[in-house]
Every structure is written in structure tokens, then in C-alpha cells.
Amino acid sequence: MTGPHGGAFSGRVGWGTRPAVVVVDLVRAYTEPDGPFALPDADPAVAATAALVDAARAGGHPVVWTVVRYSSGLADGGLFVRKVPALAAFADGAPGGWGELTLAPRPGEPVVAKQYASAFFGTSLAATLHAAGMDTVVVCGVSTSGCVRATATDALGNGLRPQVVRDACADRTAAVHEANLTDLDAKYADVVDLDEALDHLGGPASKA
């Protein structure tokens, strides 16, 4: 399959045989109307993510969740919290419960706490996925231009095939969302529709 960009940007990483769904930072801060990072219309992305999670569970594929979490004094926030002060909403003991996941993980599904945009940076995620024999990462969540983009880019760098599900991501404007999907699809990931992702998650996980 040839990518939509032509020329230098025409490759596809494709699907492997052992996909895992990584739900990036789908927490109340983004999905609630009064949240500090409230998105204008998060409901479609939440519904699409729920469909991906259900399909992964039914097919026996892993689901991993990520959240941003800091110590109460933000000592582990580094320069990121200086650049984006509203991230203080994710500190331990911060009011509002904004770091709570919008969808509920099942017992046994890992919840990876991170301090920066990428779900791979400074976390156990790569080791967890490689140890489980995964070769493909189905990326969904928020926001497209931030943590989704960083996670997909680092998935590629960690030898995993990133598949970013267009319908299951959201951002602060439609223009930002679409521009980042276009750039991701050109250089760092395959951007796919929900139906394609559900088709690949529909069968049982391959045996190692």
C-alpha cells in the first residue's frame, strides 16, 4: 500500500501480528467541559477509543493506559510544568480529580504514569510491550498534537509499528488535529480509520 503523500513520504509501516492498544491520557481534564485542558468535542474520540478497547479485549490483545502524574510539589515535572503550568492539575492531591481516567481499565491492564508527553519517555512501556511480544501499537487518546504524536513517534523509535486511529484521537481544534495526523502519516506512523483498526483487532492474538 502506498501512502497518500507521494515522493519521499510514501511508505507504510503496516500491521504486525501482535497489536496492543495504548490509550494515551484519556482523562477527565480533557473530556469534561470544565477541565483545564477541555477539548471542544471529545465524545467521538471517547466512543471510538471504547470500541478499540472492547475489540482488543475480545481478541485477547493487551490494553495499556497512560496518565500524567506528578508529586505534590511538582519536583518531577521539570521544565514541562514550567512551560505548561496547567499540568499542576495532575499533581498528587490536586483538586478536581482531573487525572482520573474517563474509561475504566480492567484489573490487570497496566496504567503507566508519565511526566512528559511520550508514553515511552522514562517509563516501562517499551519493556512491557517487548516482553509481551508485541510488534504493533494502536495509539488512541489525547491530544493528537501532543502526547499522541510523541507516543507514536517514540513507538517507531522503539521498533514498534505505530497505528494512529484518526477517529479515536482529538485536539483543541480540528485544524491542529488534522495537520498533525497528516504529518504523522507522512513520517512517523500509519494513520488509520477506526474500521481498519477494529478489523485487525477482531481476531485472537497470535501465539508467540
CB atoms within 10 A of CB 43: 10
**Exposed/middle/buried for residue 197 (C-beta within 10 Å: 0-12, 13-18, 19+):** buried
> Rounded to whole angstroms, what are the CA distances from 50 to 16, 27, 62, 83, 151?
22, 13, 14, 31, 19
SS3 for 199?
A: helix
CA distance 195 to 64: 20
Given 20, 147, 148, 152, the catalytic residue: 147
Sign of the CA dihedral running 167, 30, 22, 1: positive
Active site residue 147: yes
In 10 A of CB 79, how many CB atoms? 8
The residues facing 65 across adjacent strands are: 23, 111
What are the φ and ψ backbone dihedral angles of 161, each rounded to 5 degrees? -90, 105
- The residues annotated with a catalytic role in the active site are 147
